[in-house]
Amino acid sequence: MTESAFIHRFEPATSAGSAPLLLLHGTGGDENDLLGLGKMISPGSALLSPRGRVLEHGMPRFFRRLAEGVFDEDDVRRRARELGDFVSEARQRYGIAAPVAVGFSNGANIAAALLLLQPDVLAGAILLRAMVPLSDPPKAELSGKPVLLLSGQADPIVPASNSARLAALLSQAGAGVTHKVLPAGHQLSQADVTLARDWIVNVAAEAA
């Protein structure tokens, strides 16, 4: 597998020291979808934005699902491995550090799977409207890895109990999880942008 197996966009950093971002779109999105969000969250960061390789009724996704909220978990594991390989090869090609994933919906779910299956691939993650990706995840070692989980109080797709379970799962693996429930549905709001931007600044300050 080569990194060219993923159609993607890469924008180099314009500010030294800013963590690179891995941008992972939701169902029906593509490699252009979250570039604007990435620039708002962390101006100056390198941006690596792949397009999901699974098609559902012509809409790109990062893994197959059997129904709304029901994932093909074998495919989740396989696609997470492919994405991890892509990130490793893209890091060599573009000369970037381990990225912080910024995933929305399906993209947040594959980012959560990547954290659990290949913890070394990511430096951290911003998970926007994420669900538990695996019913029987492996024991991951996420000691101190920063994760921001932003859920919508009125999200018709992600039950509150599911996002709470994801937060607990990542915390038990050692991640430094910040979980906030916003007065929003499944779509993103300005509050998501503001909270994500502030979180990135705090993570960078603590790393320094």
* Pick from 167, 181, 200: nearest CA to 47: 200
* Pick from 103, 97, 108, 82: nearest CA to 166: 108
Question: Which token pair is 117?
Answer: 């299956």
- Is residue 179 annotated as a catalytic residue, yes or no? no
Which residues lie below 8 Å from residue 94, measured CB to CB, with a gap of 6+?
10, 12, 46, 48
Q: Which of 30, 72, 88, 186 is catalytic?
A: 186
Question: Which token pair is 123?
Answer: 């430096």
- CA-based radius of gyration for the chain: 15
| Cα of 46 vs its chain's centroid, Å | 15
Question: Which token pair is 57?
Answer: 């009724």
Q: Which of 105, 151, 163, 192 is catalytic?
A: 105
Q: Are 130 and 154 in contact (CB under 8 A)?
A: no
- Is residue 120 annotated as a catalytic residue, yes or no? no
Please report, for the chain, how many H helices and E strands are present, in that order: 5, 11
Name the percent of the chain in helix, strand, coil, to the closest 5.
40, 25, 40
Cα 187 to Cα 151: distance, rounded to the nearest angstrom: 10
- Is residue 105 annotated as a catalytic residue, yes or no? yes
Q: Which of 8, 155, 163, 192 is catalytic?
A: 155
Catalytic residue positions, numbered: 105, 155, 186
